[in-house]
């Protein structure tokens, strides 16, 4: 009887070890961020920082957390919605607040349209989204700071390259 118990114990131990999976750590990929670079409209090959840039998602009350708020930047990365085929951002140049806390910067609205492609990466990572057919539309006010926008890469699976150029 003792040999039978030992055999069952060893068999259960082997089954438990064999059923284990590697740790649930996601190293296989992630949904890419949209990479935007800002260029000088006078010399379209020259990067040009936007002064005191603030980026807010449409309908949001807080700034995008992938960039430093009110910084002088020539490159930013923005998260696109993974549950919709359109994302809109308010890009604010020379962002500042008046004494009542209201925004005083120059606001232009940029809408990105795209198709989402879901790919199951793993149990740890879940679904990873890649984007295709990216297009951009700028809605400016009476004093626009964005002169033009160009989609450089319309299909992307990573954040390694510039996807969009904005000229100002």
37 domain-assigned:
yes
pLDDT, position 30: 84
**Structural domain tally of the chain?**
1
4 domain-assigned:
no
Is residue 161 classed exposed, middle or buried when 0-12, 13-18 and 19+ CB atoms within 10 A define those classes? exposed
150 domain-assigned:
yes
Which percentage of the chain shows pLDDT scores above 70?
Answer: 83
Q: Are 1 and 129 in contact (CB under 8 A)?
A: no
18 domain-assigned:
no
Q: For the whole prediction, is pTM greater than 0.85?
A: no
Q: Which helix (H) or strand (E) holds 39?
A: strand 34-39
144 domain-assigned:
yes
Which structural domain, as residue segments, surrounds residue 36? Answer: 25-167
pLDDT category of residue 29 using cuts at 50, 70 and 90: low
pLDDT, position 32: 94
9-23, 26-40, 42-56: least confident range? 9-23
Rounded to 5, what percent of the chain is helix, strand, coil? 10, 45, 45
Convert the pLDDT of each residue in 62-113 to its tens digit: 999 999 999 999 999 999 999 999 999 999 999 999 999 899 999 999 999 9
151 domain-assigned:
yes
Question: Quick check: helix, strand or coil at residue 115?
Answer: strand
1 domain-assigned:
no
Closest Cα partner for 141 from 102, 105, 99? Answer: 105
Closest Cα partner for 119 from 47, 30, 44, 43? Answer: 30
Average pLDDT for residues 121-144, to the nearest whole number? Answer: 88
pLDDT, position 23: 53
pLDDT, position 149: 97
Q: Is the pLDDT of residue 132 over 80?
A: yes
8 domain-assigned:
no
16-20, 51-55, 149-153, 161-165: least confident range? 16-20
């Amino acid at each position: 009887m003792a040999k039978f118990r030992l055999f069952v114990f060893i068999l259960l131990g082997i089954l438990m070890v064999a059923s284990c999976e590697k740790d649930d750590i996601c190293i296989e990929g992630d949904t890419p961020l949209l990479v935007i670079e800002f260029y000088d409209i006078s010399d379209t090959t020259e990067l040009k920082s936007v002064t005191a840039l603030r980026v807010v998602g449409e309908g949001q009350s807080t700034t995008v957390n992938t960039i430093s708020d009110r910084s002088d930047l020539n490159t930013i990365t923005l998260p696109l919605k993974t549950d919709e085929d359109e994302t809109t951002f308010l890009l604010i140049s020379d962002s500042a607040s008046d004494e009542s806390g209201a925004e005083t910067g120059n606001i232009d609205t940029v809408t990105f349209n795209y198709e989402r492609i879901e790919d199951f990466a793993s149990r740890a990572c879940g679904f990873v989204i890649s984007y295709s057919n990216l297009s951009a539309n700028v809605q400016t006010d009476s004093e626009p700071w964005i002169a033009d926008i160009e989609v450089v890469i319309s299909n992307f699976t990573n954040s390694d390259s510039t996807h969009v150029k904005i000229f100002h």
